[in-house]
Structure 1
Amino acid sequence: MIVVFVLVGLVVLGVVAGLHWYVWRRLVRDTTRGAGVARRVGTGVIVAGPVLMVGALVAERGGAPLWVQQVVGWPGFLWMALAIYLLLGVLAGELVRPVVRRLLGHRSGPGRSIRPRSGAESVVFQAEGVDAPSAAGGRSGPPPAVRTRPPVSGGEESKEESNGDPSRRLFVSRVVGGAVAAGAVGTVGYGAYGVLRGPRIKRVTVPLAKLPRSAHGFRIAVVSDIHLGPVLGRGFAQKVVDTINSTQPDLIAVVGDLVDGSVKDLGPAAAPLAQLRARHGSFFVTGNHEYFSGAAQWVEEVRELGIHPLENARVEVDGFDLAGVNDLQGESEGQGPDFGAALGDRDRTRACVLLAHQPVQIHDAVRHGVDLQLSGHTHGGQLWPGNLVAELANPTVAGLERYGDTQLYVSRGAGAWGPPVRVGAPSDITVVELASLRA
């Protein structure tokens, strides 16, 4: 098993190195001449970036001291996001590059090529019957030999463009490379700003057939995937708490992936959660990242903070049942989800809302007659086009969908894992308002 793990790791590192070489080739080698300062700086950035990225991942999963995780985490995880969009930009640039060359070729005019040379300007005349000026400036003497060449087929670079006109190739590479770099930096910068400013409030109304009139308008503030860790710390937790409290919910549901680290390291970062306020209290279920961070300790920690863990358990709340199951990752520790314990003996004439971190748990929820499942886990894809990958692994990536008589709502989450960046998947705290059909 260890040998397989090492081999897989080497393959992954090889792929990462190859992709970075490709980015270096297009953005550094093709846009610079010789071994100048620009090339050395660009090469240094392309080499340091992936080293810090791997270091950030190893430090987090390896349990390095928190200060080490913080030092390598910020630049390493930001580079992870930047590398994605540099690569996508370079790939898109391959489509743009021939278009730019062709436009430049049209502007220079047909039938001639003008290239600066050392000491003088030489013009190759290709129109028949035109005399070239003599070295002395006159027009005497035989005309130069006329050289002809077949037309270049569409999509194929001429020999002149590929070999004889390096200044044009350099210009095109700089235009395309500059656009790629600016686009990637701008995308990642705006995506980081979106995370660090804190999640926005989203409101969704969900009608439940079994909900009594007395519970009509009941509001649940759903927050998932806060991911407190070496990058998002206490200040971010305070923003989340303040945003939730501003909605004045009836109940707060923390649907997993609260942390990426131990209670010892991140207990102070999670302390603001003690300020959560709701008429019927706050409830918590584990996510997969809790089991990478010491789930049992975190369950006790959130209890100390005044949040009620639902470990395969159920409570009655103002006209409906609120249940929670452990995350699937808990199976590795013998603490996986137990739908029988949470839902097996309940009165099915009552409406039931289930907290389950992963959307894939919806199929068990349907079998147990749940009316609404609240989940997170997907981050909405977090970094486009990550949503396309998330769709392959989850029945619903974000939003509200129906599965038989059960509805599933998936939050994009409040924080971010890895890069503190979101692109095409803004963070949210969702206020789910339950509606009775009898109202």
Structure 2
Amino acid sequence: MKRRLLPVVVFLSILTGLIAASHAYLYHRLVASPAWGPPWDRLGLGLFVGLALLAPATMVGARLTGRPASVWLAGLGYGWLGVLLMLLTALGVAETLRPALVTAWGEPATSQNLALAVLGLVGLATVWGVYRALGPPRVVRVPVVLPRLPPEATGFSLVQLSDVHIGPMLGRGFLERVVAAVNALDADAVVITGDLVDGSVERLREHVAPLADLRARHGVFFVTGNHEYYSGAPEWVAALEALGVTVLRNQHVPLGPIDLAGVDDFNAFGEGHGRDLEAALRGRDPGRPVVLLAHQPRQVVEAATHGVDLQLSGHTHGGQIFPWNFFVRLQQPYVAGLVDHEGTQLYTSRGTGYWGPPLRVAAPAEITLVELRSTS
């Protein structure tokens, strides 16, 4: 028992240390160094102590309170984490300018001017980020040329949803608006490339019910993302199928002029779960174009070795908050948009919802309309 608890204790200790150090640094650069004087010094100290306690309070409280209270608590707590990241980034840039400015302006003028500039810039980014996160996802039209697509099939369309993250922050109302927007596009098929939910079927069944209203000529299809495995993947597979959604688990189906294949998430776990691209493609006509649904962009490396024409992915959120897009590249080969990887085209959605901070800075949410075209 002690051995099992040790990694948890170590992780929580490191996390607590990072949170404390980050807030101490913010207090130093935004309050102490500028020497604003009373009462701002005491107010600033109290504010940053309170904000340092907000993150752990959110992680615990969001699970214990009812939904209306948990939404507000999650919004404040996760929102502050996003603002914290932007403040630390902006202050890091400011540190590179500080020596030259101190020579020109002296102190505390330099610290005061830099603090005001950082607070102003991050404040504007926060307002814009909240607006982009809470507003309606934009429709992004993505034409994709598939050499093996018959000329008469040009115009075959797939609407892609990804990373909706129904859970502590986004609920039934948001999904109803997304469903209405998707149905207005009158697509041939709707595909959901994972991370639909953040929570158990028991807690979120009512909130995902609008999926039953999705309409497309060839149906609605889904593959698991990593967050489904944190939320009870077997139960969610059954719940989605009960809503009329076809869950592709290492299998393919003929869909008009294409084959649509889907695999479990790259990090799938549990008995009977795990990605298997060979099984997903087994038995299909190799002369037909195949579109693969795979949650993580890095799965394109394997897809390219199997002659997949197009892979649709999500997972990255396009970075969601600058500068997180740079860190995403440490794990994923691609962050957003359409690319060609060794002959296999990959489209990575920026996501339809958001995860964690209700902010989207330089990475707007999207509903993707993929329009297939022939070379002829």
Instruction: Report the CA distance between 1:216 and its aligned residue.
Output: 1.3
Q: Deviations over 1:182-226 (max 9, x none)?
A: 221221121111011021111111111221223211011111001
Q: Which residue of 2 aligns with 1:350?
A: 288
Question: Where does 1:262-301 land on structure 2 (aligned, <5 Å)?
Answer: 262-301=200-239
- Aligned residue type for 1:380: G
Instruction: Report the CA distance between 1:171 and its aligned residue.
Output: 4.0
RMSD of aligned Cα (Å): 2.0
When structure 1 is superposed on structure 2, of 177-186 and 281-290 the one drifting more is: 177-186
SS at match of 2:203: helix
When structure 1 is superposed on structure 2, of 316-325 and 169-178 the one drifting more is: 169-178
- Aligned residue type for 1:396: Y
The number of equivalent residue pairs is: 372
Distance 2:150 2:203 in 1: 44
From 339, 363, 368, give the equivalent of 1:425.
363
In structure 2, stretches of 5+ residues that fail to align are: none
Is residue 16 of structure 2 the alignment partner of residue 16 of structure 1? no
From 386, 397, 404, give the equivalent of 2:335.
397
Conserved in 1, the CA contact under 8 Å of 2:167 and 2:197? yes
From 4, 11, 20, give the equivalent of 2:7.
4
Q: Deviations over 1:305-353 (max 9, x none)?
A: 2221112221111111111111123234441112232112211111111
Q: Which residue of 2 aligns with 1:307?
A: 245
Q: Which residue of 1 aligns with 2:42?
A: 40
Large movers: runs of 4+ above 6 Å: none
Question: Where does 1:157-172 land on structure 2 (aligned, <5 Å)?
Answer: 169-172=107-110
Conserved in 2, the CA contact under 8 Å of 1:331 and 1:337? no
Larger Rg, first or second structure (1 or 2): 1
Q: Which residue of 2 aligns with 1:54?
A: 56
Give percent identity, aligned residues only. 43
- Aligned residue type for 2:75: W
Is residue 174 of structure 2 the alignment partner of residue 173 of structure 1? no
When structure 1 is superposed on structure 2, of 49-58 and 383-392 the one drifting more is: 49-58
Instruction: Report the CA distance between 1:58 and its aligned residue.
Output: 4.6
SS at match of 1:12: helix
Q: Deviations over 1:407-427 (max 9, x none)?
A: 111111111110011111111
Conserved in 2, the CA contact under 8 Å of 1:196 and 1:236? no
Instruction: Report the CA distance between 1:102 and its aligned residue.
Output: 4.3
Q: Deviations over 1:209-268 (max 9, x none)?
A: 221223211011111001111112222212221222222211111110001111222222
Q: Which residue of 2 aligns with 1:31?
A: 34
Are residues 66 and 437 of structure 1, via their aligned partners in 2, closer, same or farther at CA, if it must alter by over 3 Å? Answer: farther
Conserved in 1, the CA contact under 8 Å of 2:229 and 2:269? no
Instruction: Report the CA distance between 1:103 and its aligned residue.
Output: 4.3
The alignment's TM-score, normalised by the length of structure 1, stands at 0.80
From 168, 187, 191, give the equivalent of 1:230.
168
Is residue 13 of structure 2 the alignment partner of residue 75 of structure 1? no
Question: Where does 1:359-398 land on structure 2 (aligned, <5 Å)?
Answer: 359-398=297-336
Conserved in 2, the CA contact under 8 Å of 1:379 and 1:425? yes
Q: Which residue of 2 aligns with 1:261?
A: 199
SS at match of 2:268: helix
From 323, 330, 334, give the equivalent of 2:268.
330
Conserved in 1, the CA contact under 8 Å of 2:253 and 2:259? yes
Are residues 171 and 395 of structure 1, via their aligned partners in 2, closer, same or farther at CA, if it must alter by over 3 Å? Answer: closer
Distance 1:397 1:277 in 2: 29
Q: Deviations over 1:354-382 (max 9, x none)?
A: 11101111122223221111100011111
Instruction: Report the CA distance between 1:19 and its aligned residue.
Output: 1.8
Higher relative contact order (CA 8 A, sep 6+): 2
